[in-house]
Structure 1
Amino acid sequence: MSTFEFPVRVRYHEVDAQGVVFNAWYLAWFDEAMTEFLESRSLTYRGMLDAGYDVQLVHTEIDWSAGVGWGEDVVVAVATAWIGRTSFALDFQVRALDDTGHRVVTCDCRTVYVVVDVDGSGKRDVPPLISNALGAPEPLRGP
């Protein structure tokens, strides 16, 4: 499967005093992109919840190489990094256009999610419903 891309236009309120997107907004973008990624693979978040599953973010690593500013159009690329017994990781990249019109990565992220039961009873094995939607791992960044 190809890498999923979620378009984002940087909004005024997302920019900080340094003129770039404030770091917390990246997590919001990644959360939205994760939901759209799953939906593009025929798993709506509502469908996952109705089946009795949810996911909890348990770890995120983000590395920035450049900032993006107000009004810029970027894409958040999403790909499955790995799938374990009760958890999985998604890779995210924010990709912007440089001065020559080429896409460049401005931010790399790997986020680990744990599958949990919606009844609050704790971790669950990654069910086929979720693993099928995630597809084969195609990491965007190294281990």
Structure 2
Amino acid sequence: MSVTWSAPVRFVECDQQGVVFNAHYLVWADEASALWWASLGLPWQEIAARADPVVKASTLEWSSPARYGDTVAVEAETERVGRTSVTVRFTVRVGERVCCVVHTTYVGTAGGAPVPWPDDVRERLTAG
């Protein structure tokens, strides 16, 4: 299952050539992540209170630029579920053209240390 978040590229997100600055791809992935958690029946407030997920790592792979005036669509889908982590793949597109793929790994924590996902959360993560 996947979900898609979209938004127009704003002027403030671009450099002087009208190309999106790289850090904004992470912001867009973060926006899409809230929608992804909610699509699993785990709105952010609930998952934050129960498993306190934190970002362990994010990697970005660029293919082509998004530019001022484009509308980006960020598709979020579960890539891998571990005992204490989940990796989500965020594919950023303009139309059918892939601009960037972001892989973000979230780790469930308690008191700042990794903990296994609660059973019902794990079920939702693996179903998603």
TM-score by length of 1: 0.81
Partner Cα distance (1:18, 1:66) in 2: 14
Residue in 1 aligned with 2:115?
124
**Are the counterparts in 2 of residues 86 and 123 from structure 1 also a CA contact under 8 Å?**
yes
Runs of 4+ in 1 over 3 A off after TM superposition: none
Q: Which runs of 5+ in 1 are unaligned?
A: 98-102, 138-143
SS of match in other structure, 1:89: strand
**Are the counterparts in 1 of residues 81 and 126 from structure 2 also a CA contact under 8 Å?**
no
Cα 1:15–1:61 change in 2 (3 A) is: same
Residue in 2 aligned with 1:26?
25
Residue in 2 aligned with 1:114?
107
Q: Which runs of 5+ in 2 are unaligned?
A: none
Task: Note the C-alpha offset of 1:59.
Answer: 1.3
SS of match in other structure, 1:29: helix
Among 73, 76, 82, the alignment partner of 2:80 is 82
Residue 7 of structure 2 aligns to which amino acid in structure 1? V
Q: Kindly indicate whether residue 64 of structure 2 is the aligned counterpart of residue 73 of structure 1.
A: no
TM-score by length of 2: 0.90
**Are the counterparts in 1 of residues 76 and 88 from structure 2 also a CA contact under 8 Å?**
yes
Cα 1:129–1:26 change in 2 (3 A) is: farther
Identity %: 34
**Are the counterparts in 2 of residues 38 and 133 from structure 1 also a CA contact under 8 Å?**
no
Partner Cα distance (2:32, 2:22) in 1: 16
Partner Cα distance (2:86, 2:41) in 1: 18
Task: Note the C-alpha offset of 1:18.
Answer: 3.2
**Are the counterparts in 1 of residues 85 and 106 from structure 2 also a CA contact under 8 Å?**
yes
Task: Note the C-alpha offset of 1:40.
Answer: 2.1
**Are the counterparts in 1 of residues 91 and 102 from structure 2 also a CA contact under 8 Å?**
yes
